[in-house]
Chains A and B, each alone.
Chain A
Amino acid sequence: MSEHSTYTPGSGIEKWLDERLPIIRFSKEHLMDFPTPKNLNYWWTFGAILVMCLGIQIVTGVILAMHYTPNIGMAFDSVEHIRRDVNGGRMIQSFHAVGASMFFAAVYIHIFRGMYFGSYKAPREILWILGVLIFLLMMATAFMGYVLPWGQMSGWAATVITNIFAAIPIVGTPLLELLRGGFSVGNPTLNRFFSLHYLLPFVIAAVVALHIWALHVPGNNNPIGVDVKDTKRDTLPFHPYYTMKDAFGMVLFLIPFAWFAFFAPDILGHPDNYIQFNSQVTPAHIVPEWYFLPFYAILRAIDFNLLFIDSKLLGVIFFGGSILILFFLPWLDTSKVRSGNFRPMFKWFYWLFVVNFVALTYLGAQPAEGIYVILSKICTAYYFIHFIVILPVLGRIETPRPLPTSISESVLGKAH
């Protein structure tokens, strides 16, 4: 989008630099002058909020790694040492731990915003796919980070999640031993998880750069889902209009963030994780962190064999499929209209999907017995029906409401 650049090198040094590495020109084009639809609402500030979250996790994480010891004999105590002895350690640790939850809260809002406003539709399929990839990397990173304090929940999370890979036919058991570095979760497991937990955030940062690159080719989607027709009338420069809006969004987002970190750093965790990992006793009520609950409910809902596939493998197929299906969303939704605002039927099914997703979150936290098992099965079935049946069919039978002719018209009303 270099045609929107108004950059002219001011001094001789800037001109010299511009001819060799046009980094100032690039920054001005993409961080300041970038034409952004003028009707973006606050749901669009979560992109910037997520960049902030990644930054907080990396900065606090690097400091934590200076004080943490990745050894099964010392890991648990070293985390307590950080919380009690290290200067400011209590806050750094709680910002990192609470930060993971806030990161997921923001990413769920970001994903559901994209689903409602059809941000995955052409020409933004690659942008969406990169986003799902980031989500997957976040899940892997969060899981491995959760193992590092080496409490009961850490160790059993490591056991259960690595076991998921053992369900894969033929390569399962060798793969399990490769992931663990042994027959069971132990010191080699902790060491490799620490190494990967430090590596993956930088991989995420790289994919985020690609995600933003893919965003800056077609430009932002917007609440009415109509393309920018006239850059002058439909858009505003990113700076100062959206830098300010995003900064305000970040400040609002930091209020609950700070509340958790300062006043209730452990409220999102589990008391069992303050008991050191014991490979011979599983806590009576084992549940993952809240942000994994919907997928955990899906994994657990499958307790029956289907043809030659046993219940364990089938559970893993559904669990993996529930995330992988997001990669295909741009082609499963056949409607040409992007924004849910102009799709009278989709709107209802969208909110039904949200309610179903929240229900799965609730069910994932409940014990696997009685009515919860049946409800989990119904909600799991609906999750997949939404993608495989409802979205493709809706695009064919629904009559969308008339779209505004332009972004500017939707904001200012029709010109008389």
Chain B
Amino acid sequence: MNPDASTLALASIEFDLGAIEEGQSVTILWRGLPVFVRHRTQAEIDEAKAVPMSDLKDPATDESRTKEGHEQWLIMIANCTHLGCIPVGESGEFDGWACPCHGSQFDTAGRIRKGPAPTNLVVPPYEFISDTLVQIG
């Protein structure tokens, strides 16, 4: 009953970021999982950097959640780390994401700030192949 070969074949994808405007988010599919790709505004990046580590349930710096030189891009698996619903973007008390299922709230770096989710939204393994092309998985 484990995942079959056709499921495993979709393990790695390439995605072009070029068309995403600042302040815009898109959701793409990777391994059947939705992935948020957000082009963050400078205000959002500053807000995420200003948060003291002691306020975080799952401490992680903003830098650790993005790639150096590409910090305007936030790429995360869109499933809430609680039970897997898709949080709604640009909502909640922390200007990030709020999950409609059980009330978890995430900040502009996708870090858990409030509610039952135990950890930050998961950053999938990815690399920048060029300035606008990423390979996820």
Which residue numbers of A lie inside 8 Å of B, CB to CB? 156, 159-164, 174, 177-178, 181-184, 186, 188, 192, 279-286, 299-300, 302-303, 305, 310-313, 315, 367-369, 373
Contacts and interface: CB of A to CB of B under 8 A. Distances in A.
B41 interface: no
A159 B115 contact: no
A181 B7 contact: yes
Interface string B81-106: 11111111000000000011111000
A124 B4 CA distance: 46
Contact of B85 (A156, A177, A188): A156
Contacts of B32: 182-184, 186, 279
A178 B84 contact: no
Given A160-B85, A183-B33, A368-B115, A178 B103 contact: no
In the complex, the 6 A-B pairs of residues with the closest C-beta atoms, listed nearest first: A368-B103, A310-B118, A184-B32, A303-B116, A163-B84, A163-B83
Contacts of B2: 174, 177-178, 181
A322 to B, nearest CB: 16
B74 interface: no
Contacts of A178: 1-2
Contacts of B79: 159, 163, 184
A311 B1 contact: no
A366 to B, nearest CB: 11
A183 B1 CA distance: 12
Contacts of A161: 83
B contacts with A: majority SS? loop
Contacts, number: 102
A84 B117 CA distance: 41
Given A156-B101, A283-B100, A368-B102, A305 B118 contact: yes
Contacts of A159: 79, 83-85
A279 to B, nearest CB: 6
A134 B3 CA distance: 30
A184 B33 contact: yes
16 contacts: A164-B83, A177-B2, A177-B3, A178-B2, A182-B31, A183-B7, A184-B33, A188-B3, A279-B29, A282-B88, A282-B100, A282-B101, A313-B118, A315-B116, A368-B102, A368-B116
Given A178-B1, A183-B31, A282 B85 contact: yes
Contacts of A181: 1-4, 7
A40 B136 CA distance: 66
A182 B1 CA distance: 9
Given A177-B3, A181-B2, A279-B32, A284 B116 contact: no
B86 A160 contact: no
Nearest to B119: A310
B27 interface: yes
Given A178-B1, A300-B116, 6 more contacts: A160-B84, A182-B7, A183-B31, A310-B118, A311-B116, A312-B83
